[in-house]
Amino acid sequence: MPIGKKADLSLFLDILKTLERINVPYMIIGAFARTFYGINRVTYDIDIVVDLSEEHIQALSDSYPLPRFYADPEMIRNSINMGIMFNIIDTERGEKADLVPLNGTLEYRPAFERRIRQTVEMFGEEPFEVWSAKPDDIVHGKLMAWTEGRSRKHETDIFDMLLHHYLRNETILNIPVIDKYAEKLGEDTRQLWEDIKSDAKKRMEKDE
């Protein structure tokens, strides 16, 4: 997944390297994870699910010290106890990365257990491996997010992955499995998924 010069994802990528170094179990989810499956539009919609122990909390905080960074260990502990997202902030560059405690997103636990290794390629640096959600789980997560907030961006992300699946004629996505995910999320989400499948097939036929 090549990342060009214009994409300033330095904090996010550095955090991934740090999680690898201190052996934190984690998984990339959201729109950024799509880039591993042929969708090359760089996005700042980036989330990381993490399973942090006390040892990990201190190591993570020590990796991003004040005054430049804000990664207060007590803030991280409180976020984990409450099961809510926390941030690591680069105050010098005005950037932040969102990390989601696994205990606050139990619906992601099956996906977390299925996560796979993928390779990130940064411009001018050596590639490195990270943990990412599988394609079906990325779409499932997008369907869950749409069900909750009805955001158009989730529809677009799902469409892009599905179109890539059809155009490449590869088994990137397990459509019957996602059918079941969508059905469990309710009639509106099931209908959205059916509409996106129909639109993607029409676009594929148009592009052939």
Residues pairing with 49 in the sheet: 27, 100
pLDDT < 50 stretches in the chain: 1-7
Give span(s): CATH 3.30.460, the chain.
Answer: 2-132
pLDDT value of position 105: 77
Chain centre to alpha carbon of residue 26: 10
Q: Which residues, 6 or more positions from 58, have their beta carbon under 8 angstroms from its beta carbon?
A: 73
In order of 137, 186, 207, the CA distances from 109 in angstroms are: 11, 21, 38
Q: What is the dihedral of CA 125, 131, 137, 139, to 10 degrees?
A: -20
User: Which residue type does 79 have?
Assistant: S
Nearest 5°: the CA angle 75, 80, 85 is 75
pLDDT value of position 204: 85
What is the rounded CA–CA span in Å between residue 80 and residue 76?
A: 6
> Which residue is associated with the tokens 């699910």?
49
Q: Is 131 helix (H, G, I), strand (E, B) or coil?
A: strand
Closest CA to 93 of 12, 39, 180, 156: 12
Span between the terminal Cα atoms of the chain, in Å: 25
| Backbone angles phi and psi of 108, in degrees to 5 | -90, -5
| Full-model pTM | 0.84
Q: pLDDT tens across 24-49, in order?
A: 999 998 767 777 765 665 555 568 99
pLDDT value of position 189: 97
pLDDT value of position 35: 72
Match domain 2-132 to its CATH number in 3.40.50, 3.10.450, 3.30.460, 3.30.70: 3.30.460
Q: pLDDT tens across 57-66, in order?
A: 999 999 999 9
